[in-house]
Amino acid sequence: MRNRTDLTRDNRGATAAIFAMAMPLLAGMGALAVDVGLWTVQKREAQGAADQAAFSAAIAAQASGDDAGHLEGKAIAASMGFIDGQDDVTVTTNKLDSLDGDSGEFWEVIVEKPQTMGLAALFLGSAPTARARAVAGTASGGAACIIGLSTSGTAISIDNNNSISNPGCAVYSNANMSMKNGSTINGAAYVAGSIDKQNAGQVTIGREVTGVTPVPDPYADVPSPGPCTNSTKITNGGSYSAGQFCAGIEIRNNASNKTLNLASGTYVVGGILRLDNGVTINGTGVTLVLRPGTTVTLGNNLVFNLTAPTSGSYAGIAMMGRNLGTNILAWNNAIFNVQGAFYFPNQELSIKNNSVFNSTQCTQLVGLVVSINNNANMNDECPGSGIRDIGNGKVALLA
């Protein structure tokens, strides 16, 4: 028989008692581990959905506008099991004008889904929410609204209170750039050389990058017109069909009609393009192609209501010419209701004196040199407009 002292020292069965008391805690920890594992999977799935949705939203918006971006973002999230408004899921799509201080066009998608709880409910008062965020957009800082192709001297000059106000419009200079006297670029400026700022405190650039590699000519592959075979010339306003006008277009101040209504197609112009004061050109699906050697004279208060074709050899181009007989194409007080590019790779484009660009369309300027001054402001809606970009404005997943 064991004595009382032996019984007080006997610890057989203690382990079982301790295990019994710890069992609820161990079970709870195991259940919590299972729940956390499931939550981790849900978080990963939500992040994948947000990534795909943001990328697709940016692509859709670039092609078809903001409404398409919102719709596509939510549709992609839904296809991956996260349907906005069902099972307490929230999918939010936002268009952003900047990301980490860089201007541009960005699309943010946030996916949120409350998690279910098993035995973790014993330890937590409420279920956590799986939240994922992704941002995609044009890594270049915006579509190329202005491109100066010259690789020497000053390729872009912006002076006297001019504003490139859309943060989605980027400026590219293959040489130096001049910014002076209260001028503003709300988007990005990519400059191969340096930026000359006079009165620097009055100059604003959303994002400036110097020393970049010169960009390629986005329309280098567009064909020049073939031989011209007639002596047709337009000297008065009216309605015209596409074709060759080898003797040119010359609407002078004494013309009885100063409004040209152009049917869709390509208008090849040779010899001379002279548009005196107050001439208006209307056309949808139209490209004006100036033959080499053509001389150009542009008067004041011209109005261009042009939409470039969306297919064919001249898709995206409203007006173009190579190796013209005029070095500088100067517009004074002009109104540009233009969807498309003005492409003159061997000439200077000078836009000045209160010229106006339609804020709902995109007039892309591509020239050897581009100068904008004296309140000739641009508020183009270029992203997603169908113009050609310079190649490094591709949509990318950025955050």
- Provide DSSP, 333-349: S-EEEEEEEEEEEEEEE
What pLDDT is recorded for position 36?
63
In the chain, pLDDT over 70 holds for what percent of residues? Answer: 79
What pLDDT is recorded for position 185?
86
Take residue 125 and report the two structure tokens written for it. 């008062």
Residue 127 burial class via C-beta count within 10 angstroms: exposed 0-12, middle 13-18, buried 19 and up: middle
Domain residue limits, the chain: 16-138, 143-389
In the chain, pLDDT over 90 holds for what percent of residues? Answer: 45
What does the alpha-carbon distance between residue 95 and residue 84 come to, in Å, rounded to a whole number? 17
Label residue 31 left, alpha or beta by phi (over 0 means left) and psi (-120 to 50 means alpha).
Answer: alpha
What pLDDT is recorded for position 392?
47
Backbone angles phi, psi at 18, to 5 degrees: -60, -45
What pLDDT is recorded for position 302?
95
- Long-range contacts: 205-210, Cβ < 8 Å, 24+? 205/179, 206/98, 206/102, 206/103, 206/141, 206/167, 207/101, 207/102, 207/103, 207/141
pLDDT in tens, the chain (399 residues): 555 555 455 555 555 555 555 455 555 555 555 556 676 778 888 888 888 888 888 888 877 888 988 999 999 999 988 999 988 889 999 988 777 666 667 889 999 988 776 655 555 656 678 888 988 876 555 578 899 999 999 999 998 888 787 777 788 999 999 988 888 888 788 899 999 987 766 788 887 888 888 889 999 999 999 899 899 999 999 999 999 999 999 999 999 999 999 999 999 999 999 999 999 999 999 999 999 999 999 999 999 999 999 889 999 999 999 999 999 999 999 999 999 999 999 999 999 888 888 877 888 999 999 999 877 767 666 655 557 766 445 555 666
